[in-house]
Amino acid sequence: AQRVTQPEKLLSVFKGAPVELKCNYSYSGSPELFWYVQYSRQRLQLLLRHISRESIKGFTADLNKGETSFHLKKPFAQEEDSAMYYCGDTGANSKLTFGKGITLSVRP
């Protein structure tokens, strides 16, 4: 079965500090990795996906098949980045397997 691991529950940084949210996945042949974000009182929404290779809101994530990782990074955190972040992997039938999520808190 697919598994997505987010080893940390909380990351607290000061505004302007770099951020790295860790995500590891179990090998599934052809992983399709996503990061979803949930801001306070809002619904879960897609942040980025690995096949797009794009930067959204300054965030990037690189798929590392050797380490089976898909860490989310941002060089300079902003207060509005404070949210819950979930890493996910899509298997057959497009069902998402999510990690437990991490709370990012960016202090002023």
Partner 1 sequence: GAGVSQTPSNKVTEKGKYVELRCDPISGHTALYWYRQSLGQGPEFLIYFQGTGAADDSGLPNDRFFAVRPEGSVSTLKIQRTERGDSAVYLCASSSLWREGANEQFFGPGTRLTVL
CA dist list (Å): 60 to 1, 28, 93, 99: 27, 22, 26, 18
Gap between the Cα atoms of 68 and 49, Å rounded: 15
Q: Is 28 a binder of partner 1 (CB under 8 A)?
A: no
Q: How many residues lie near partner 1 (CB under 8 A)?
A: 22
- In terms of CB distance, is 101 or 104 closer to partner 1? 101
Q: Tell whether residue 44 is a contact of partner 1 (CB under 8 A).
A: yes
Q: Considering the complex, what minimum distance in angstroms separates the CB of residue 4 from partner 1?
A: 8
Single out the residue of 10, 29, 30, 92 in contact with partner 1 (rule: CB under 8 A). Answer: 92
Which residues lie below 8 Å from residue 102, measured CB to CB, with a gap of 6+? 6, 8, 9, 10, 11, 21, 22, 84, 85
Residue 60 engages partner 1 in binding (rule: CB under 8 A): no
Q: Are 103 and 9 in contact (CB under 8 A)?
A: yes
30 makes contact with partner 1 (CB under 8 A): no
Residue with Cβ nearer partner 1 (77 or 85)? 85
Which residues contact partner 1 by CB under 8 A?
4, 6, 32, 43-46, 49, 52, 86, 88, 90, 92-101
